[in-house]
Amino acid sequence: MSKFASGKYAYGISDRSGFRYRLRDMRKEWNGLLVGKDEWEEKHPQLTPLRKRPDPEGLKDARPDQADDNVKFTVYTNVGKGILGKELSSFEVTANVGSVTVTT
């Protein structure tokens, strides 16, 4: 394997500004440019995209709910002098359709 010379008297030209710098004082940026120490900028975090992870879509060993949906529940209404929170004890529904005429 070959070695490089130390280059303690070598100079380089900045890729950004064109100024001359000592080669040992130059730094390489994330985009491959060789620039002077005072011109060097680190890579902004927004330029590195986040790792995409898939969204979990299903449950492992999922089973349908075996519980009965016909459960007794309490309905509260505001019939007791306008006070909210009274228990509904009776319930009545009426409906009218009207008249229906069938002709052949």
pLDDT of residue 76: 63
- Tell me the average pLDDT across 49-72: 77
Q: Which of 43, 2, 1, 5 has its CA nearest to residue 24?
A: 5
pTM above 0.85, yes or no: no
